[in-house]
Amino acid sequence: MRKPLPRRNKIARADKSPLKTQLRLLRYVLPHWRELKMILITMALAIGVDVLQPWPMKILVDDILGKQRAPEWLNRMIVALPGPAGDGGLLLWVCIGTVLIYVLHTVVSMANTYATVGLGRRMTYNLGADLFLHLQRLSLKFHSRQPVGDTIMRINEDAYCVQTLVTGAMLPLLQAIISLVTMFFIMWRIEPTLTALALGVAPMMMILIRIFGERLRNGWLERRDKEIRVATLVEQTLSAIPVIQAFTREETEHARFRSYADESVATVQRLVRADLWFRLFVGLTTAVGAAVIMWLGAKYALAGRVSAGDILVFISYLHSLYQPLNSITTTASTVQNAAANANRVTEVLDTEVLVKDAPDARDIGLRGDVRYENVSFSYEAAAPTLRNVSFEAKAGEVVAFVGPSGAGKTTMANLLARFHDPSSGRVTIDGVDIRDIRLRSLREQIAMVLQEPFLFPVTIAENIAFGKPDASREEIIKAAKAANAHDFIARLPGGYDAVIGERGATLSGGEKQRLSIARAFLKDAPILILDEPTSALDAGAEHLLLGALDRLMKDRTTFIIAHRLSTIRNASLIVVMNRGEVAERGRHPELMARNGLYAKLYRQQMEIARREHAATEAAEMAA
């Protein structure tokens, strides 16, 4: 007998090291090496253009206005180029060079921005797609405990962490380091003492990163938590609009929204305040450094140690030196933001898929002989949901699960579809443990009609063909007719091409359920699960469905989670559940003769139905 898979109840914790968490996400860069190559090339060109930018001004000040002798290579180049000779030619080409440098800088920046945006978006959507797929594979247990608003934010917003990390932090950091080294080398050649003094601000910047880094990271995490609470409230409220309106809770929910929003704003303001102070101190540090260099550089120029043009070039490079230093320090804030979001992303990716294919799982065509062998299951270790459940259903038989609310009826059906795996025992189909069957193969051979039909805001035809997207229109219509749905579909504007509202809001409960039955007809699976499909319907709507359900169950192994016991009197086997255990089993006459729990529940329902019928007749007579 197989050992049960390990169970984990909470979303996985991401790696404690933010660096390791972020490095894991760099694999999303590799498929996009073309964009990355373009970014690196344009980055190198941008640095080269930055090096060229101050030199026309130096030539203007020193060689034209200052009447110094231009370097020999520059004189030879001016003679070779078209235009006037002497200072007039040099001035002309200084102006032309300034324009050319600007154009080259703009073109390089445009190319870099285009490639950066493409890389960032592709990485983000690739990560979001992986999150989306992984979330779909996680168990119902996970999704029952995870707020939908939080899950949506992890896909739609937190996935941008890889873009922030790569194009907003790592690539700018790389460019800043290369620029820093390049500028330092050139500035050292111009004036070593001033260059050494210019780098004196670096230790102070490292101290600022140390002081503010953790505060910024915690601030981003707190901000995300507050935003999630607002999004979750909106999702929950909009999903329950009928209840909100029925109990006149609009103002209360509005007040809750305002309260959560105020807390979110306060958190953002604290984060922004810390970030602004960080940027202020960084800017003040570089401003003081620049002022010291200007003062000392001017004294050097007055003393004749360097030329005025050299000072202009040096101050220009000083800006180019401090800009990378500023980028390196402010990148700390960006990285903290990315780290907070990356942590939430990796939490999901690290959450174990509890129900998955075994290494030796295989595809099997199923007949439908089902056995539960000493099956136990628990959502929480201290509170077992099922205890040692055993029964057998032959292919084509109808098995009904009945019992009080919370007895474990739906859990029984969920184990058959492998939404969960047993804690102990096993479920077999045709003598094969369902954990030895590939999950896709198993679920493709099980059709489900649930109490909530779960329709989508697409066409009627697409909803019916949800389990068989390649179905022809003739197959769809045939399934709809079998489900007693064709007539109401034909009356809709657009017929089978009519687009229904969100979750089927434009249809009645009976119409939605008939589409769900048509979906099961079209799937044509050998095993069928009916999870109280008529419990929410009135007698008239139920009557329309019963004939369709009888046709659907024919020649299929069917499991019915029954709410109305009158609908399962002809079941091959009735399994009576109570507190997670099989209290009784047998056919309807046998269970009534035993006068046990089933008989008690049946008589209670019949008495309630008799009273409702009498009340209806009395109301009709009074009218």
Over range 142-162, report the average pLDDT.
Answer: 79
Beta strands 557-561 and 573-578 are: unpaired
Beta strands 527-531 and 446-449 are: parallel
Of 1-5, 173-177, 454-458, 579-583, which range is least confident?
A: 1-5
Q: Do domains 18-349 and 370-588 have the same CATH topology?
A: no
156 vs 374, residue with greater confidence = 374
**Quick one: which H or E segment has residue 350?**
none
Q: Could you tell me the pLDDT band of residue 458, with boundaries at 50, 70 and 90?
A: confident
Over range 487-499, report the average pLDDT.
Answer: 90
In degrees and rounded to multiples of 5, residue 13 shows phi and psi of -80, 140
Q: Which of 515, 572, 528 is nearest to 400 (CA)?
A: 572
pLDDT at residue 399 tops 90? yes
pLDDT at residue 361 tops 80? yes
184 vs 352, residue with greater confidence = 352
Over range 371-398, report the average pLDDT.
Answer: 88
Per-position DSSP letters for 366-406, written without gaps between them:
----EEEEEEEEEEETTEEEEEEEEEEE-TT-EEEEE-STT
Q: Which pLDDT score is estimated for 445?
A: 92
Q: Which pLDDT score is estimated for 3?
A: 41
Q: Which pLDDT score is estimated for 180?
A: 75
Q: Which of 447, 481, 450, 476 is nearest to 463 (CA)?
A: 476
Over range 450-463, report the average pLDDT.
Answer: 84
Answer yes or no: are the C-beta atoms of 420 and 411 closer than 8 Å: yes
Question: How many Å separate Cα 543 from the centre of its chain?
Answer: 42
CA distance 551 to 480: 12
pLDDT at residue 10 tops 60? no
CATH for the 370-588 domain, from 3.30.70.141, 3.40.50.300, 3.60.10.10, 3.30.410.40: 3.40.50.300
Per-position DSSP letters for 528-575, written without gaps between them:
EEEESTTTTS-HHHHHHHHHHHHHHHTTSEEEEE-SSGGGGTT-SEEE
CA distance 30 to 486: 51
Look at domain 18-349 and name its CATH class: mainly alpha
* pLDDT, tens only, 507-520: 887 888 888 889 98
Over range 105-126, report the average pLDDT.
Answer: 88
pLDDT at residue 311 tops 90? no
Q: Could you tell me the pLDDT band of residue 590, with boundaries at 50, 70 and 90?
A: very high
Answer yes or no: are the C-beta atoms of 582 and 408 closer than 8 Å: no
Q: Could you tell me the pLDDT band of residue 544, with boundaries at 50, 70 and 90?
A: low
Q: Which pLDDT score is estimated for 137?
A: 84
pLDDT at residue 293 tops 60? yes
pLDDT at residue 370 tops 90? yes
Over range 556-575, report the average pLDDT.
Answer: 85
CA distance 21 to 262: 31
CA distance 299 to 193: 13
Q: Which pLDDT score is estimated for 348?
A: 85
Over range 207-217, report the average pLDDT.
Answer: 70
Angstrom distances, CA of residue 582 to CA of 388, 409, 417, 577, 621: 8, 10, 20, 5, 45
Q: Which of 279, 437, 288 is nearest to 362 (CA)?
A: 437
Answer yes or no: are the C-beta atoms of 585 and 576 closer than 8 Å: yes
* pLDDT, tens only, 255-272: 888 888 888 888 888 888
Q: Could you tell me the pLDDT band of residue 12, with boundaries at 50, 70 and 90?
A: very low
**Quick one: which H or E segment has residue 336?**
helix 308-349
CA distance 495 to 473: 12
* Mean of pLDDT over the chain: 79
pLDDT at residue 171 tops 90? no
Name the packing angle between helices 86-137 and 72-80 (round to 10°): 100
Q: Which of 342, 419, 529 is nearest to 136 (CA)?
A: 419
361 vs 226, residue with greater confidence = 361
pLDDT at residue 609 tops 80? no
CA distance 58 to 308: 8
User: What is the DSSP secondary structure assignment for residue 469, as one 8-state letter?
Assistant: T
Q: Which of 566, 445, 463 is nearest to 518 (CA)?
A: 463
Answer yes or no: are the C-beta atoms of 248 and 369 closer than 8 Å: no
Q: Which pLDDT score is estimated for 83?
A: 54
pLDDT at residue 15 tops 60? no
Domain definitions of the chain by residue range: 18-349, 370-588
Of 92-106, 126-140, 204-218, which range is least confident?
A: 204-218
Angstrom distances, CA of residue 609 to CA of 240, 559, 605, 606, 614: 30, 24, 6, 5, 9
CB-based contacts of 466: which residues, under 8 Å, 6+ apart?
456, 519
Per cent of the chain over pLDDT 70 is 81
Contacts 24+ apart (CB under 8 A), 489-498: 489/460, 492/460, 494/459, 495/460, 496/459, 496/460, 496/461, 496/464, 497/459, 497/460, 497/461, 498/459, 498/460
pLDDT at residue 615 tops 80? no
Name the packing angle between helices 202-239 and 308-349 (round to 10°): 40
CB atoms within 10 A of CB 343: 22
* pLDDT, tens only, 43-95: 888 888 877 777 776 666 665 665 555 555 555 555 555 555 555 666 776 77
232 vs 486, residue with greater confidence = 486
Q: Which pLDDT score is estimated for 415?
A: 93
Q: Which pLDDT score is estimated for 4?
A: 41
pTM: 0.66
